[in-house]
Homo-oligomer: A and B are copies of this chain.
Amino acid sequence: MGNNDYAYPSAAAMNVECVQRVAIPPPQPFFKSLKCSMKETFFPDDPLRQFKNQPASKRLVLGLQYFFPIFEWAPRYTIKFMKSDLIAGITIASLAIPQGISYAKLANLPPILGLYSSFIPPLIYAMMGSSRDLAVGTVAVGSLLMASMLGREVNPTENPKLFLHLAFTATFFAGVLQASLGLFRLGFIVDFLSHAAIVGFMGGAATVVCLQQLKSILGLEHFTHEADVVSVMRSVFTQTHQWRWESAVLGCCFIFFLLITRYFSKRQPRFFWVSAMAPLTSVILGSLLVYFTHAEKHGVQVIGELKKGLNPPSITDLVFVSPYMTTAIKTGLITGIIALAEGIAVGRSFAMFKNYHIDGNKEMIAIGTMNIVGSFTSCYLATGPFSRSAVNFNAGCKTAASNIVMAIAVMLTLLFLTPLFHYTPLVVLAAIIVSAMLGVIDYEAVIHLWKIDKFDFLVCISAYMGVVFGSVEIGLVIAVAISVLRVLLFVARPRTFVLGNIPNSGVYRNLEQYPNANHIPGILILEIDAPIYFANASYLRERITRWIDEEEDRIKATGKTSLQYVIMDMTAVGNIDTSGISMLEEVKKNVDRRGLQLVLVNPGSEVMKKLNKSKFLDEIGQKWVYLTVEEAVGACNFMLHSYKPNHAHTKDESEGWNNV
């Protein structure tokens, strides 16, 4: 539609001013535009939309339902739902009990804390959470992180009480951070952990966690407190004489069993419960084995006594005045962010499957409240782990009620069944952790990243290496730093293209992507692919000059029509700041001195507003701003063929300077 011949009449028509011009948006009062941009920044999902035009009573109900989604789904709850949730809840409880104990051991905390943390937090989440599939509980990475960060200050074997209290305090601060991120609508901070960073980070953490299990599997008494691969390997191979083969054999058998069941369930999704029940089965088998063979006397370490009874209150245990306060806060902040990232990502992915919406900020408030309350009731950091939520989903859960079922099952265990875990060998717990962690190392995702985006791959691998060879925090910092660097680099080094005309159309596209597009003689069309900011203003000035130089060289070599017009397509320039405007002014001067004419195409509303305010529009002349490249080229061609541009004298004038 429309070729160059077609474009001429419109260019001619333009001279009689009947074509649509690039609009300058009407000026807006400062506070209105401030309010508008604040809203876009902090309330992009417009959470108050449903409250509009409602009576006060309805608003109250909606508000209650907003903060406690249980009031929304409970009235519609049916027997059919209940049946599904019951099955799902019992299934995840059977997974939660052994995993909870294992992860508490990983965090160097009393094993019973794992059960406590699977009782209160799920109840809170069931009331406040908006995900229907999230199964709440402790996570391996959070546990490891807590053990390593707190362990650097306080030795958990020498001073278990202080360590425990610091863990509660850290959980409290994690909850406060999570809830306030949600309340202050700062959820987007979590977005700065890119998917690639999380894959690498999780993989690294899983590797580190697996390596830590060598302690239990090999039955070692002494072990390094460091988490990096070098320290762990040194610790393992300097005490080869201490390895216990009984423990190792048992461990390998259980890992094999767990992996086999997982593989089976993956192939046959109907039998999801096989892999879900496997950990509990392992625990029972392991405990029976130890009980009957008295293996605890032959070097197989067991859990020992677990206290009966529900969560004791721990609100008085929180430490707010202590030399270790800052450690607790730091641990809380880092574990809180990591836990949040996992919880939100898991909730969101299952919501996608079932096509319902999750409000990230609301979820943060729910997860945060659950950790604050948890820290008052002897729980440590909980979130929505992927493995457990996947089992919940596969088991057919319908609402968050499955969490309530799980909590009740855990409660019954706490009240009556804890003595049964006395003989559970630690090596079984290690096997459960290893098999869970092997599922977290997502090498397929890494291959996918390599194929599609090398930079994402770099982020992922750096995060992995940082975690494995440094520490979890180092990995985290590296991943975030590289991700942010990428964003800055994108803005600092935006792509610029030369556009050409696509044959038989009025469309102008990047010559690199469309090799069949044609140069327009005498006209250089440039496209800038990013906002023009201080960070890229000098780069763009250099680059545009270089494009013009190269075009002039090319023309010299081919001996075609000399360059007369430089058209800048501003379609993709989303915004401009004062440095950017100065840059345009400099480019304009530079282009003028070469005796060329600068033409702008389609500046956006924000850019147009600023160009107008800064008088650049008057400088360049409104008539040199066109709505489309086609119109601009038409106008330039029209003038090229009818008369020489009237600014040719500028060239001679500038010659003098060049000779200096």
Contacts and interface: CB of A to CB of B under 8 A. Distances in A.
Contact of A453 (B7, B604, B610): B610
Interface stretch (A372-380, A415-423, A490-498): A490-498
Contacts of A535: 188, 191-192, 194, 483, 487
Contacts of A245: none
Of the four ranges (under 10, 10 to 19, 20 to 34, 35 or more), the interface on chain A belongs to 35 or more
A352 interface: yes
A196 B577 contact: yes
A115 B484 CA distance: 45
A539 B191 contact: yes
A554 interface: no
Contacts of A622: none
A2 B571 CA distance: 20
B538 A507 contact: no
A339 B608 CA distance: 34
Nearest to A627: B507
Interface string A492-517: 11110000001111110110111100
Given A491-B491, A577-B455, A192 B534 contact: yes
A489 B41 contact: yes
Contacts of A610: 452-453
Interface in A563-619: 571-572, 574-575, 577-579, 581-582, 586, 589-590, 593, 602, 604-606, 608, 610, 613-614
A531 interface: yes
Contacts of A25: 512-513
Contact of A354 (B2, B503, B627, B657): B657
A530 interface: yes
How often does this chain occur in the complex, in copies?
2
A399 to B, nearest CB: 8
A227 to B, nearest CB: 26
A208 to B, nearest CB: 24
A453 B577 contact: yes
A453 B605 CA distance: 14
Nearest to A603: B513
Given A355-B658, A531-B490, A191 B578 contact: no
B490 A488 contact: no
Interface string A318-352: 00000000000000000000000000000010001
Contacts of A153: none
A356 B575 CA distance: 29
A16 interface: no
Nearest to A612: B452
Contacts of A193: 534
Contacts of A510: 604-605
A77 to B, nearest CB: 11
Given A356-B660, A452-B614, A506-B1, A513 B574 contact: no
A291 interface: no
A221 interface: no
A interface: dominant SS? helix
B191 A40 contact: no
Interface string A186-216: 0010011111110000000000000000000
Contact of A608 (B348, B513, B589): B513
Which of A357, A509, A515, A614 has the most chain B CB within a 10 Å cutoff?
A509
A355 B604 contact: no
Given A490-B531, A529-B574, A539-B191, A660 B132 contact: yes
A482 to B, nearest CB: 11
A451 B589 contact: no
Contacts of A231: none
B194 A454 contact: no
Contact of A534 (B194, B348, B534, B575): B194
A493 B529 CA distance: 17
A452 B578 contact: yes
Contacts of A533: 194, 486-487, 490
A495 B573 CA distance: 11
Interface string A25-64: 1000010001000001100111000000000000000000
A6 interface: yes
B20 A507 contact: yes
Given A196-B579, A543-B44, A572-B574, A20 B502 contact: yes
A228 interface: no
A632 to B, nearest CB: 12
Interface in A84-118: none
Nearest to A549: B49
Contacts of A225: none
A561 interface: no
Contact of A40 (B34, B493, B503): B493
A542 interface: yes
A613 B449 CA distance: 10
A545 interface: yes
Contacts of A46: 546
Contacts of A572: 529, 571-572, 574
Contacts of A614: 448, 451-452
A578 B539 contact: no
15 contacts: A1-B1, A1-B10, A20-B505, A25-B512, A195-B534, A453-B610, A456-B579, A483-B534, A487-B535, A494-B574, A495-B574, A513-B605, A529-B574, A530-B574, A571-B572
Interface of A: 1-2, 6-7, 10, 20, 23, 25, 30, 34, 40-41, 44-46, 132, 188, 191-197, 348, 352, 354-357, 360, 398, 448-449, 451-456, 483-484, 486-495, 502-507, 509-510, 512-515, 529-531, 533-539, 542-543, 545-546, 571-572, 574-575, 577-579, 581-582, 586, 589-590, 593, 602, 604-606, 608, 610, 613-614, 627-628, 630, 654, 657-658, 660
Given A1-B1, A40-B493, A487-B533, 7 more contacts: A1-B630, A20-B514, A23-B514, A191-B537, A452-B610, A487-B488, A529-B574
